[in-house]
């Protein structure tokens, strides 16, 4: 293309000696004329896109600069804006639609080398080198992950795939630098875009040597999608990756363990290459940004008059990209019913996983009696609900070994129902080395929702710490029992109960309300000398896991999924030191737990060294990547194909 000129030459008349470009109405008009665009629709289209891009760059739109309709802009920034406007115009002339103009303008510098854009002013053709190869889905994924967070929020991954597919259909993608000049030693560009500023379809690139379906020419999504005529929706699940719809009642874990586990699960599935959409009733800007950083799309459930938040989870969501999910996940009684409705009514035929996080018969009998409420009948109803939701699912997924053993037994007598899958949470640690104990008073921390003090073993914790204090020398550092998780308005009552249970007037007790403030909770963990989890019943025990991955010494109830998991993976000596039996007999439990607490406080430095050993072993044995891989392989052996095996509701 001998008539192609670069943008530096094209804007020379606007550029001063200091490299600044002067922009006003007269210069814009001349620029459009120099591009060979006469008055009419073609000129108006480019003019509109250019002004949109220019106004986005300026602190005040040019049209609103009353009395000073002129502005000076650094030349490189101006040429980048002009290049983006030319490329967006060419894309839209070629039939690429569905993405907002301003989003396309912002995306252009990431797709194309805007500094090397050239224009044939006679043929009205724009030439640009691609910034990256776009021949496979993973290459498009890398491009998308490199976009700024705000741009990824405006353009999800599937929309970028659709955009690249549309570019292919225009016939405007070709190999190498093509007609673009390249300096000696500069590698060939990953590909070339050639588009027309004229109305109608884009000018096809020269295909005399290479047909449009050739892998050397077309920048395809996948080897199976090289034909430009293949629509995006025809890509198989294996080619575009699973689309997983997870239902949750929140993103930030205000309600506790289920939400915290859901966050980690979504992140792990996204890291494993799945497209993850988390359907929630509502989300703040902070929550959306937090999920976005983990490559998880938060989707807001559609609202309707009179609906509760959980009702809204049953409405059919519109997922980015327009395709249905390949897998639906619900959590326990919280979002399990809505997940069932989505799989049966809104996306019929879609496999469904039902995650179980608790065993009501095990926990509810330890809860405080409430007037007029039959806890045993409620536990029976809750268990039966979980079982019905699980037996009609593709698979029931039990969190940790304790729940897995229970539900494996329950489902073993149901004909034709597959055995549950077991998901062990990961011990991915933010630490790179061992923790050192903090000087000063010794803080023993118990955290979690403390309204069910019988389930959490709060009385046992208080008695054990009181027992330990009684074994200490008066000259040793003070012990503080720190409790985080009181129901608002109940802290004073809980404080009195703790002091009575402990039986030690010298014990310092601090009771704090339940909080989801991660910074505050992290601060308390960093100060702790010991974290207690003396649960009488606990499906798993994420609070203990969080302490372990942060290198804090722990004492964990053997009646928890976490305790059972630690006994599976740790050497027997290490497990016996931190996993303590709970027998519901104060004559046995108090001295056993009290002696264990006293031992940790007496040998703090050694206890932190032991905690580092536990953290290291568990971080090696159980990661979230392993958990995601096992889940994926349990649904589709080999992990690449779609999940299979949908079952009708029983």
Q: Tell me the per-residue pLDDT of 86-134, one tens digit each, with 9 for 90 and over.
A: 888 888 887 777 778 888 888 888 888 888 888 888 888 888 888 877 7
At residue 641 the predicted structure's pLDDT band, cuts being 50, 70 and 90, is low
**pLDDT attached to residue 465:** 97
CA 260 to CA 402: how far, in whole Å? 19
Domains and CATH numbers, the chain: 4-201 (no CATH), 239-423 (3.40.50.2000), 442-622 (3.40.50.2000)
pLDDT greater at residue 635 or residue 463: 463
Of 469, 533, 462, 468, nearest to 502 by C-alpha is 462
| 129-146 mean pLDDT | 80
| 398-415 mean pLDDT | 94
| 140-157 mean pLDDT | 80
Of 546, 543, 569, 570, nearest to 557 by C-alpha is 543
Helix (H) or strand (E) holding 412: none
Q: Does residue 211 contact residue 205 with C-beta atoms inside 8 Å?
A: no
Mean pLDDT, rounded, of the chain: 82
- Burial-class residue 304 by CB neighbours within 10 Å (0-12, 13-18, 19+): exposed
pLDDT greater at residue 444 or residue 203: 444
Percentage of the chain beyond pLDDT 70 is: 83
pLDDT greater at residue 540 or residue 193: 540
Least confident of 275-279, 361-365, 389-393, 582-586: 361-365
Q: Does residue 427 contact residue 450 with C-beta atoms inside 8 Å?
A: no
CA 92 to CA 142: how far, in whole Å? 24
**pLDDT attached to residue 635:** 84
- Burial-class residue 530 by CB neighbours within 10 Å (0-12, 13-18, 19+): buried
**Tokens read off for 25:** 């109405």
How many other CB atoms sit within 10 Å of the CB of residue 526? 12
Phi and psi at 226, nearest 5°, equal: -70, -25
Question: Is the pLDDT confidence value at 469 over 90?
Answer: yes
In degrees, rounded to 5, the angle at the alpha carbon of residue 511 between the alpha carbons of residues 506 and 516 is: 150
Q: By three-state DSSP, how is residue 480 classified?
A: strand
**pLDDT attached to residue 52:** 82
| 302-322 mean pLDDT | 85
Question: Is the pLDDT confidence value at 601 over 90?
Answer: yes
- In angstroms and rounded to an integer, the radius of gyration of the C-alpha atoms of the chain is 31
Question: Is the pLDDT confidence value at 344 over 90?
Answer: yes
Q: Does residue 542 contact residue 425 with C-beta atoms inside 8 Å?
A: yes
In degrees, rounded to 5, the angle at the alpha carbon of residue 459 between the alpha carbons of residues 453 and 461 is: 105
Q: Residues 421-430: pLDDT tens digits?
A: 999 999 988 7
| 348-357 mean pLDDT | 94
CA 352 to CA 340: how far, in whole Å? 7
CA 85 to CA 28: how far, in whole Å? 13
DSSP E strand boundaries for 64-124: 70-74, 118-120
**pLDDT attached to residue 217:** 25
How many other CB atoms sit within 10 Å of the CB of residue 374? 11
| 54-66 mean pLDDT | 59
**What are the angstrom distances between the C-alpha of 92 and each of 99, 120, 160, 324?**
10, 18, 15, 27
| 641-650 mean pLDDT | 48
Percentage of the chain beyond pLDDT 90 is: 43
At residue 64 the predicted structure's pLDDT band, cuts being 50, 70 and 90, is very low
Q: Does residue 124 contact residue 37 with C-beta atoms inside 8 Å?
A: yes
Least confident of 233-237, 441-445, 518-522, 591-595: 233-237
Q: Residues 33-54: pLDDT tens digits?
A: 888 876 777 788 888 888 888 8
**What are the angstrom distances between the C-alpha of 435 and each of 603, 607, 612?**
15, 10, 7
| 178-205 mean pLDDT | 56
- The CB-side HSE value for 240 (13 A sphere, CA atoms) comes to 24
At residue 602 the predicted structure's pLDDT band, cuts being 50, 70 and 90, is very high
Least confident of 38-52, 134-148, 206-220, 329-343: 206-220
Question: Is the pLDDT confidence value at 504 over 70?
Answer: yes
**pLDDT attached to residue 648:** 39
| 250-274 mean pLDDT | 90
**Tokens read off for 505:** 């007037």
Question: Is the pLDDT confidence value at 194 over 60?
Answer: yes
Give the strands of the sheet with 118-120, arranged side by side. 4-6, 118-120, 125-129, 192-196, 173-174
Question: Is the pLDDT confidence value at 595 over 90?
Answer: yes
């Amino acid at each position: 293309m001998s008539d192609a000129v670069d943008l530096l030459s094209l804007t020379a008349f606007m550029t001063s000696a200091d490299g600044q470009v002067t922009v006003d109405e007269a210069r814009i008009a001349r620029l459009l004329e120099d591009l060979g665009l006469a008055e009419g629709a073609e000129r108006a289209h480019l003019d509109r896109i250019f002004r949109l891009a220019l106004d986005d760059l300026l602190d005040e739109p040019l049209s609103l600069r009353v009395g000073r309709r002129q502005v000076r802009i650094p030349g490189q920034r101006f040429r980048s804006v002009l290049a983006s406007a030319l490329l967006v115009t060419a894309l839209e002339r070629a039939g690429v639609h569905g993405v907002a103009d301003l989003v396309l303008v912002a995306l252009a510098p990431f797709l194309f080398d805007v500094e090397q854009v050239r224009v044939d002013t006679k043929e009205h053709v724009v030439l640009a080198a691609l910034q990256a190869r776009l021949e496979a889905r993973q290459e498009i994924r890398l491009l998308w992950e490199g976009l700024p967070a705000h741009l990824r929020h405006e353009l999800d991954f599937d929309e970028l795939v659709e955009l690249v597919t549309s570019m292919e259909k225009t016939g405007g993608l070709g190999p190498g630098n093509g007609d673009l000049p390249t300096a000696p030693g500069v590698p060939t560009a990953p590909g070339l875009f050639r588009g027309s500023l004229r109305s109608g379809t884009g000018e096809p690139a020269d295909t005399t040597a290479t047909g449009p379906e050739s892998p050397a020419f077309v920048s395809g999504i996948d080897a199976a999608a090289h034909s430009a005529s293949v629509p995006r929706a025809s890509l198989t699940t294996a080619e575009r990756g699973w689309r997983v719809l997870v239902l949750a009642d929140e993103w930030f874990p205000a309600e506790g363990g289920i939400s915290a586990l859901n966050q980690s699960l979504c992140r792990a599935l996204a890291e494993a290459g799945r497209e993850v959409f988390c359907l929630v009733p509502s989300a703040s800007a902070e929550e959306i940004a937090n999920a976005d950083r983990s490559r998880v799309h938060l989707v807001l459930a559609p609202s309707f008059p009179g609906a509760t938040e959980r009702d809204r989870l049953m409405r059919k969501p519109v997922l980015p990209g327009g395709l249905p999910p390949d897998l639906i996940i619900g959590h326990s009684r919280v979002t399990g019913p809505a997940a069932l409705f989505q799989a049966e009514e809104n996306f019929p035929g879609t496999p469904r996983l039902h995650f179980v996080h608790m065993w009501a018969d095990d926990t509810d009998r330890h809860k405080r009696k409430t007037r007029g409420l039959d806890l045993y009948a409620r536990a029976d109803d809750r268990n039966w609900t979980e079982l019905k939701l699980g037996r009609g699912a593709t698979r029931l997924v039990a969190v940790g070994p304790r729940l897995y053993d229970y539900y494996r037994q329950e489902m073993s007598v149901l004909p034709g129902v597959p055995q549950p899958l077991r998901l062990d949470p990961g011990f991915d640690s933010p630490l790179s080395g061992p923790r050192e104990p903090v000087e000063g008073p010794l803080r023993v921390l118990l955290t979690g929702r403390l309204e069910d003090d019988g389930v959490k073993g709060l009385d046992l914790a208080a008695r054990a710490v009181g027992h330990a204090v009684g074994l200490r020398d008066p000259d040793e550092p003070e012990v503080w029992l720190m409790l985080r998780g009181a129901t608002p308005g109940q802290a004073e009552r809980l404080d009195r109960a703790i002091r009575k249970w402990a039986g030690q007037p010298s014990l310092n007790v601090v009771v704090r309300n339940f909080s989801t403030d991660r910074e505050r909770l992290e601060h308390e963990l960093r100060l702790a000398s010991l974290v207690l989890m003396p649960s009488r019943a606990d499906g798993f025990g994420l609070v203990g896991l969080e302490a372990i991955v942060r290198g804090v010494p722990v004492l964990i109830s053997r009646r928890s999924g976490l305790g059972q998991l630690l006994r599976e993976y740790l050497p027997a000596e290490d497990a016996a030191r931190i996993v303590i039996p709970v027998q519901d007999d104060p004559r046995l439990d108090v001295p056993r737990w009290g002696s264990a607490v006293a031992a940790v406080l007496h040998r703090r430095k050694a206890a932190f060294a032991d905690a580092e050993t536990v953290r290291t072993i568990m971080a090696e044995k159980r990661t979230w990547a392993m958990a995601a891989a096992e889940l994926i392989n349990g649904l589709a052996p080999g992990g690449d194909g779609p999940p299979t095996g949908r079952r009708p509701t029983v």
